Amino acid sequence: MSEPTFRVALRGDGILNNPRWNKGTAFSAIERGAFGLTGRLPFRVNSLDEQCERAYNQLLMRETPLRKNTFLQSMKEQNWVLYYSLIGRHLKELIPIIYTPTEAEAISKYSHLFRRSEGLYLNFSNQNSMEQDLLEQSGGREIDLVVVSDAEAILGIGDQGVGISVAKAVIYTLLAGMDPSKTLCVTLDVGTDNENLLNDRLYVGWPHRRVRGADYDQFVDNFVQLVRKHHPHSLLHFEDFGVSNAKRLLDLYHDQHAVFNDDVQGTGAVTLACIMSAIGVTKSRLADQRIVIYGAGSAGLGIARQLRDGMVTIDKVSPKDANRHFWLLDRYGLIKESLGPDKIRPDLREFVRPDSEWADVRANESGEVGLLEVVKKVRPTILIGCSTQAGAFTEEIVREMAKGTERPIILPLSNPSSLHEVKPQDANDWTDGKALLATGSPFPPCKQPNGKEYKVAECNNALIYPGLGFGAMVAKSRCLTDTMIIAGTRRLASLAPALKDPDDALLPDFGDAPAVSFEVAVAVAEQAVEEGSADVDWKKEEIRDRLRVKQWKAVYGKYIYDPNGER
């Protein structure tokens, strides 16, 4: 492949301080002359390989994951090509540094680690200038992807006021090839109810209680309408909104714009792919499963709906019958009729169990039925955790589950690692190595009783959302439909290592995530073209190449100085 050529309008410090264009010591002698850099750089011209080697050695000198995270953050502010190229070369090692789990620690310390702003901060108290603020930031750039968060439910660590959209956007570039200059990361700062932040003098967000109700809705609506007006073809990705808003906002806007809620849809999709892989190992159908989901928030509901829809599509079960395969629990125990509307969100209605089924079961004094009782009675084949409650899958519960099924499928999905409902090694030990496991954050392999190692798949939405978004974006899809998501999910499931070897991991390794994301993107774009959601007129055979061409690559290319060029 020949080196791409770019015409760039920046010179001197202007280009050195611009992370999109800066090459540091990799500027050639000719470029140094043309861009006014000869005296601004030391003599030696380095290749990108040499720069990566030096940067990696510097990274290794940082001893903790958080220090590595801040080092890489600085590098991103200096030089995008070097940043993405370095991480791309050490993907498995560095994704956990820039994303889950280390990102949780970085966000919880955001105000104290803060050095330089990134993305767009839209503040409730400045809402009158929202349009101007957006235009100042996007500066007439073409935007393909908008990632937005109001930071109310960051991973499992709750209300953090600001943070997350940048880390999610980086994964789009790293794994799917989304052009970082065409993404916009937005923080909707509507305050925080986190007392520690409100009492912290160094807190950089708006020190005010969270705005809720009609004012909040209006603020979000103003933002969404601006995205529609200025970036009508962008994909709008919602991340880590609170449970009372996540699904509601998705439903509100899905007819207006290509919107995607990662915690609901991305998590549902990756979990369905993981379960399809697991039932390939147990040689059963989705419709044979009894599924207990612990934590009925955005992720829990998204998973239940996606698995249910999978059962309907794949096994041709009616939606009503499919709903009966699910038992959801939240902080009031099993979601059953007598909990009443105060304790059951309207969007959980279809999964509410009748009380009559539970008359013979021991409840607490408030009439709530806990996880152990549910496991004893239901004898689940699948147990999924997205409750943020570390250790909720106790030894007693896991052993009880293993009595009722040959190969218990257990997915503790809460992030970061410290919040997992069960440690994979414990689940493995308590089931004599029979459990089929996947976790939300990366974990080392389990030691089996027979001395072999069992690779624990990472069931994190990052394995699917970059491909879903990239496929939809390149196909200029007006929406991201359920059928497009199912197409991506099936493609991901078809790449599961356990399909070839039942003792292998349930999902592809994150080291293979770029190739996997590309396949997901192809499947999504093919589906969009086939069903008419796409705004392109492509034949199926050309989709792969179209996507390939659109991928941003972490290479420098050759620069020509041109006062009318890009900046």
Binding partner of 388, given ligand LMR, Mn ion, ligand NAD, none, CB within 5-8 angstroms per partner class: ligand NAD
Binding partner of 183, given ligand NAD, Mn ion, ligand LMR, none, CB within 5-8 angstroms per partner class: none
Nearest to 468 by CA among 163, 32, 175, 222: 175
Q: What is the pattern of x (binds Mn ion, CB under 5 A) and - over residues 244-263?
A: -------------------x
3-state secondary structure of 336: strand
Which two tokens mark 340?
Answer: 């009443």
Which two tokens mark 463?
Answer: 């394995």
Q: Which helix (H) or strand (E) element contains residue 72?
A: helix 65-78
The answer to whether residue 263 forms part of the interface with ligand LMR (CB under 6 A) is: yes
- Shortest distance (Å) from residue 338 CB to ligand NAD: 17
Q: Which of 73, 192, 282, 461 binds ligand LMR (CB under 6 A)?
A: 461
What dihedral do alpha carbons 431, 329, 496, 490 form, nearest 10°? 150
Active-site residue, from 68, 76, 168, 455: 168
- 263 annotated ligand binder: yes
Q: Are 440 and 295 in contact (CB under 8 A)?
A: no
Active-site residue, from 83, 99, 110, 556: 99
Nearest residue (CB) to ligand NAD, 177 versus 300: 300
The answer to whether residue 103 forms part of the interface with Mn ion (CB under 5 A) is: no
- For 442, residues 6+ apart whose C-beta sits below 8 A from its C-beta are 95, 96, 100, 101, 417, 458, 510
Nearest to 294 by CA among 339, 328, 326: 328
Q: Would residue 168 show up in a list of annotated catalytic residues for this protein?
A: yes
DSSP strand pairing (183-189 vs 120-123): parallel
Nearest residue (CB) to ligand LMR, 381 versus 414: 414
- 240 annotated ligand binder: yes
- 432 annotated ligand binder: no
Binding partner of 19, given ligand NAD, ligand LMR, Mn ion, none, CB within 5-8 angstroms per partner class: none
Q: Are 446 and 459 in contact (CB under 8 A)?
A: no
Instruction: Give the span between the Cα atoms of 160 and 200, in whole angstroms.
Output: 12
Q: How many residues bind Mn ion (CB under 5 A)?
A: 2
- Shortest distance (Å) from residue 52 CB to ligand LMR: 26
Contact footprint for ligand NAD (CB under 6 A) = 153, 155-156, 243, 263, 267, 270, 294-300, 329-331, 386-389, 413-415, 419, 440, 459-461
Residue found by looking up tokens 């991973």 in the block:
155
- 460 annotated ligand binder: yes
Nearest residue (CB) to ligand LMR, 170 versus 496: 170
Q: Would residue 423 show up in a list of annotated catalytic residues for this protein?
A: no
Q: Are 459 and 424 in contact (CB under 8 A)?
A: no
DSSP strand pairing (333-334 vs 326-330): antiparallel
Residues paired with 5 in a beta bridge: 558
The answer to whether residue 388 forms part of the interface with ligand LMR (CB under 6 A) is: no
Backbone angles phi, psi at 299, to 5 degrees: -70, -45
Q: What residue ranges bind Mn ion (CB under 5 A)?
A: 240, 263
Residue numbering of the annotated binding site for a divalent metal cation? 239-240, 263
Q: What residue ranges bind ligand LMR (CB under 6 A)?
A: 100, 155, 240, 262-263, 415, 440, 460-461
Positions marked catalytic: 99, 168
